[in-house]
Every structure is written in structure tokens, then in C-alpha cells.
Structure 1
Amino acid sequence: MSRVSVKICGLREPRHAAHTCRAGADYVGVVFAGRVREVTAEEAADVVGALEGGTKAVGVFVDASPTEILRTRDVAGFHVAQLHGREPPGACDELRAEGLGVWKGLRPTSGDALVRGWDEYSEAADAILVEGFSPRGPGGTGASFPWEWLSDLVRDGCALALAGGLDAANVSRAIRDGRPDIVDVSSGVERAPGEKSIELILEFLAAAREAVGPAPVSGPVARSRNE
């Protein structure tokens, strides 16, 4: 199986970021929306500053304007903007023109909705992140995604990130059945909501790597125009 990149999302402590990147994560996520995992730009800068090697930082937003995202990027220093709201494709284009990679989050409620969302954003985003739908909102809810919906998806030209309900026990199956380019975990490496566990992070990374075999750290921020 080809290489799959791993993102650990919702980090708030620099020490967790340091352990995560040393263990081989390709991405760490800092969240600028919600409550449980939300950080300020300054707090995110401390997390990003703890990274080393090839690990990249992803800033997660919900319905923030491109201006706000870029202002936050200038303080926090993340490399990729992950958009989880109703942002139009034009917002993705604007951010990519400013040197950011862009991942667009989708929470489809059917296979047809997934195809429509993919068709709408696949030219504008570097990666599309699909996660399970939850009425509690986007990201970090632990809602599982029906992997079988991916079987008929035409994925040319855009990376697929798979999230929602992943943990060390099921990530191998998710990689096998969903064939993602990236797997993304948040609540699946927590002891309690918002409380990351280094032990669970290491277990998840080991399980994901075992599923595809060892490879050097790198990953698809993916086709950002300025990289």
C-alpha cells in the first residue's frame, strides 16, 4: 500500500507537539473554533514552535474569513488552513494564492452529498477531509464516517483525508477500506474531551504506520501553488 500521512489534531500543549512530531506525525492540528480544543493564535504559535523535522501545522477554522485566517497565520505560523464551515471555493483560492495549503472539510449525510461536495471543492482545495456527521458540529466529535461511501468516488487531482471515529484499534481498517492519503485523529487520542494522551498518540501513529509499512516523514500538503 502507498504511503498514508498522519495528522494529530487538537493539540494545545507544546510538549504534545514535540512528542508527536518526533514519533513521526506528518501534521499536527491547532483549532481556532469551538471550545474544548480551541487555542489563541499566540498559544498555537507555541505549539507550532515545538515542531521539528518535516512535521507541518494545520490551522482549523469554521466560517472564518480569509482575512482572519491569514492574520492568524501570521501570528501562529501554521502551513495549512483546514476549513470546516460553509466557505466557498473562492475562499480556498484566495488562501492558496497567499501561500497556504488548504484542506476543505466535508460532513456528508449521504454518498451523493459526498460526491457533490467533492466535485465542488476538488479543484479549489489541496485535500478534502471527510468526517462523520454529528449534530454537535464539525470536528472532534468522534462521529464515524461510512467508509463504503468512498468506493464510488472519483478522486483524481485532490488528496483525501479521512477523519471521524478513528483510533488505534480501527485505523488499519480505515486505511485498507477507505484508501485515504491522510488519516486525521483528535478525540481518538484523548483520555477525556480536549485532554490529549501521549500514550494514545504513539499507539495511533504506530498502528497507522504498521498498516502501510515504514516511510520517511513527508506528506501531501498537496499541490499548493506556492510550494
Structure 2
Amino acid sequence: MDTLVKICGLATQEGLDSALACGADLVGFVFFDKSPRHVSLDVAAGLGGRVEGRARKVLLTVNADDALLAAAIAALDPHWLQLHGSESPERIAMIRANFGLPVMKAIAIAEESDLAQIGRYDKVADMLLFDAKPPSGASRPGGHGAGFDWGLLDAVETKKPWLLAGGLDAENVAEALGRTRAHGVDVSSGVEREPGVKDPAEIAAFVARARGAPRSREAQPLPPSDGPDEKLGLSRWGV
């Protein structure tokens, strides 16, 4: 199975075009005003229109209400919703039912006890994302460039596909994929020249090294595809 690559926090035409040119599978747009990568509805609409079927668009929110979700969905027309806050399993089920889009749920990891959350979310989310827990007192849940002990993921038990995030960059992505069973990787600050501004050269290097990374063990198997989009065997999740 090929490695899924997601470039998140895209806020400029240069960054988005670089991610698309390098063949990113998923491109993420942040709707959270405390983030330096936050995009307005107008900017999101303009950037989203440039994707033109070359990748899957991911709308990232943090504890958003239905009004914000509806407005952001109307602007971006995403393929995926990424929920990066403290959304409960019940809230995720409601969002999936109300908006009819697959959901990727981020789970913050710092120690083994944090893995207990997985059992709550893999019943309702379509994909999981394991990210580093933010520093104490942080105003946003991700995008800090911090990593966590990948060895904790040895104990992961889920049948859902999952992405690895947190502190990844072109220098360590191959090692990360070699050490874990991740179906893919998600990067934001690790390919930036400054917060919120992506570096095309770093994006290119990251994607190339993720694609060429050797695996020390096989990634978790995925269920068989059941739709017309056979890429990566993830058609039922919209990838």
C-alpha cells in the first residue's frame, strides 16, 4: 500500500500549488482563528477551486458549531472533515449525520494512557490521526512542531486507517514510517519557512522522502475497496 501524504495548514496559493505539484493526496485548510494557518471563507473558496480533483480537500476545525461547519463546507466543498478539538464521539456521529462527510478525528498522544481514547473514537470516525499533545497552556491543539514517542503506537488497536502527525519533517519522516504502522503522514509546521507560510522546497522534500520510505513492518491492512476510486484502497473513506 502506498503511503498517504497530507499537507495541512495551507493558506497561500504558492503553498497549495506546491503540495499539488508534488502529488500530495490530501490538502488541509484550517478554520480556527487562533491558528496562524487560519483561512477566511473567501480565501478557502479561492484555494479550494484550484485543487480541481488533484487531491482530496480536508476541512480542519476545532470544536466548531454547526453554523461554522456549514459555512466552511459551503466555501471549501471538502471531501473530509478533520476534527481537532475535544469533540465527543456523540458529537462526531452527529456531524457525520448532519453533513454527510467522512470524519478524521485527531487524538493527542503524550503517554500510554492517552491510547485509551482510541476505542471511543474508532467506532464513529472514518479515520484517525495521532498527533502530539500540545504544551500546557497552548491556545491551539496542534501545529506546534512537537513530536511524541512513536513507540507508544506499538499498542494501537484499531481497524480504521490512521495518519501520524506531530513534529514531522523531511529529515525524520522516513524514520517515522519505518517505526510505525501508519497508513500515512500529516505535516504542517515541518514544511514552513515561518508560521503559516509553506516552503515549496520543504514540501517537495517531505513528499519525496515519505514516498520512498522503507517499512520495517507492514502497515495495518485495510478493508477492500468497494467503490470506483481504487487509489490506496481507501475509496469508502473518500481518499
Using the size of structure 2 for normalisation, the TM-score is 0.85
Aligned counterpart in structure 2 of residue 164 of structure 1, from 163, 166, 175: 166
Structure 1 residue aligned with 2:113: 112
Structure 2 residue aligned with 1:143: 146
Structure 1 residue aligned with 2:200: 198
Q: How many angstroms apart in 1 are the aligned matches of 2:63 and 2:113? A: 23
Aligned counterpart in structure 1 of residue 188 of structure 2, from 186, 189, 192: 186
Judging changes above 3 Å, is the alpha-carbon distance between structure 1 residues 220 and 113 closer, same or farther for their aligned structure 2 residues? Answer: farther
The 8 Å contact of residues 167 and 204 in structure 1, kept in 2 or not, is answered as yes
Q: Report the CA distance between 1:108 and its aligned residue.
A: 2.5
Q: Which runs of 5+ in 1 are unaligned?
A: none
What does 1:23-172 correspond to in 2, within 5 Å? Answer: 23-33=22-32, 34-97=34-97, 98-114=99-115, 116-135=116-135, 136=138, 137-156=140-159, 158-172=160-174
* Structure 1 counterpart SS, 2:171: coil
The 8 Å contact of residues 160 and 182 in structure 1, kept in 2 or not, is answered as yes
1:25-70 Cα shifts (integer Å, max 9, x gaps): 0011111112311011221111111113440111111110244213
Query: Aligned residues: percent identity?
Result: 36
The 8 Å contact of residues 58 and 79 in structure 2, kept in 1 or not, is answered as yes
Using the size of structure 1 for normalisation, the TM-score is 0.89
The 8 Å contact of residues 82 and 102 in structure 1, kept in 2 or not, is answered as yes
Segments ≥4 residues shifted beyond 6 Å: none
- AA of the residue aligned to 2:141: P
Q: How many angstroms apart in 1 are the aligned matches of 2:234 and 2:102? A: 6
Q: Report the CA distance between 1:218 and its aligned residue.
A: 3.9
1:188-219 Cα shifts (integer Å, max 9, x gaps): 00011111101100110000011159xx9945
What does 1:199-218 correspond to in 2, within 5 Å? Answer: 199-211=201-213, 218=231
The 8 Å contact of residues 18 and 52 in structure 1, kept in 2 or not, is answered as no
